[in-house]
Amino acid sequence: MPIRYLKIVLVVFVSLLCLLYATQNVVNLQAAHGFVSAALSMAEHVAYPAALGPAITSSALVWVALAVIILFEFAAGLLGCGAGIIVWFGFFTVIGGAYFQMWQTQLGSASLQGSFQYTMMIGLVLLFLNQPDR
């Protein structure tokens, strides 16, 4: 298989990954809201109980955050690898993991592990895409 076709297939799979996660969040909207609400509330933080900034407990702000996540997941599915890295590295790892300290809860820790996987997979595809075809 020529490299160009492999690159096309990989981009299709990255798009499918992002679109499936966005769609799963829409189909499970209340569960997604509950997870985002738990993460933003910084509840059950025992190891590092003090936070750099305030927790977000407003339901309206949680809905806004969830909408941004879902919109960016859909955008990543339509636009490509860079947007996917913004979602799973930027939103989940940097903002969720570092700022909201998601690693302190079991559900948050599992989410961070998943976001690491998606970031690495999408990043590797992006690196491969940027290699010249021979």
Query: What is the DSSP-derived secondary structure letter of residue 104?
Result: G
The whole-number pLDDT of residue 117 equals 97
Using CA of residue 103, residue 92, residue 18, residue 4, what is the dihedral sign?
negative
Three-state secondary structure call for residue 58: coil
Low-confidence residues of the chain, pLDDT below 70?
Answer: 1
Is the C-alpha dihedral spanning 56, 60, 63, 68 positive or negative?
A: negative
Instruction: Please give the backbone phi and psi of residue 67, each rounded to the nearest 5 degrees, phi first.
Output: -60, -40
Two tokens at 103? 């690693």
**What pLDDT is stored for residue 129 in this prediction?**
96
| pLDDT at 109 (0 to 100) | 95
pLDDT computed for residue 1 by the predictor: 66
